[in-house]
Amino acid sequence: MNQSALQMMQADLAQLAQHLTANNIEVWIEENTAQHAQLLQYPTLLLSEVGNVVDLAIVMGGDGTMLSVARSLIDADVPLVGVNRGRFGFLTDLRAEEMLKQMDCILAGEYTLEPRMLLEAQVIRQGHKMHCHYALNDIVIKSGLRLIELEVEIDQNFVYKQRSDGLIISTPTGTTAYALSAGGPILHPNLEAISLVPICPHTLSNRPIAVNSHSQIEVTLMQFDEAQLGFDGQFQVALEVGDKISVNRAQKTISLLHPADYCYFDMLRNKLNWG
């Protein structure tokens, strides 16, 4: 973030905190954010402590910030609302210019609550569980050098063996992210589905598919020079030949708050510049 954008965000944070405090709302600020924004007059807490203290988490930034905070609060029953200071803002609805008015409406009970599903992925190596992490957008198996060969099973049924640059396993939320740029379908967030989108498949007949969200997806790494498993593009695990990646819908969800007049299709039209 450049200096000008940082200063604008600092000003927005200060304005929002002052406005909420003036309306008798108790405001806590995440510790690192308070330091960077120089808002040391407010009580602070670690991100891991947020779920134990607050009733609503306001996230200011872009979609990447929202993804990171959402994963950190997966064990907390705290809804999130986003103020967009990024580029696209598929997950951060509130415009900074209107955030005070919209926050007043939300705090007055004028909002839409939307649960978003998460994915859970485990790396099984020689029969042992090595890693387990969650994603709100997507689980991505990706090559580092050349094509990788992987085998996909869904509910213990063989689907295909594929040579490609990788595979994106996406929630409906994530279908407007990496999966979209790879040619995947856009799934409405209320669909109970998971999409599998090949990344540059060697065989053109390998197309994206969508399956029921309760499906058990297992991907076996058959051959590669280098590969990684990514979670929302923010956390990565190195893979080895023979690793099995088991992906399923997580039992937990993340709740997003939208303004009362929020419309998913309006958002798509505006963000993707549809006519």
Question: pLDDT tens across 4-25, in order?
Answer: 766 778 889 999 999 999 999 9
Does pLDDT of 1 surpass 90?
no
User: Is the pLDDT reported for residue 86 higher than 80?
Assistant: no
Give the distance, in angstroms, between the CA of residue 117 and the centroid of all CA atoms in the same chain: 10
CATH class of 118-251: mainly beta
Catalytic residue among 12, 55, 63, 77: 63
| Residue carrying structure tokens 């997003």 | 256
> Hey, is 192 helix, strand or coil?
coil
Confirm whether 225 is a catalytic residue.
Answer: no
Query: What's the CA gap between 21 and 271, in Å, rounded?
Result: 32
105 class by beta-carbon count within 10 Å (0-12 exposed, 13-18 middle, 19+ buried): middle
Query: How open is the CA angle 193-65-9, to the nearest 5 degrees?
Result: 145
Per CATH, the number for 3-110+260-271 is: 3.40.50.10330
Q: Please give the average per-residue pLDDT across 144-161, as a whole number.
A: 94
- Given a contact cutoff of 8 angstroms between Cβ atoms, the answer to whether 54 and 78 are in contact is yes
Mean pLDDT of 28-39: 90
| Averaged pLDDT, 227-237 | 94
Domain segments of the chain as ranges: 3-110+260-271, 118-251
Are 220 and 242 in contact, with CB atoms under 8 Å apart? Answer: yes
Cα Rg of the chain (Å, integer):
20
Taking 80 as the threshold, does the pLDDT of residue 2 lie above it? no
| Bigger pLDDT: 89 vs 46 | 46
Closest to 29 (Cα-Cα) out of 47, 15, 51, 11: 47
Position 102 confidence tier, pLDDT thresholds 50, 70, 90: very high
- On the question of pLDDT at 127 being above 80, the answer is yes
DSSP code per residue over 120-143:
EEEEEETTEEEEEEEESSEEEEEE
Q: ∠ CA(121), CA(168), CA(275), 5° rounding?
A: 130
Task: State percent of the chain over pLDDT 70.
Answer: 98
Tens of pLDDT, residue by residue over 163-192, are 999 999 999 999 999 999 999 999 999 999
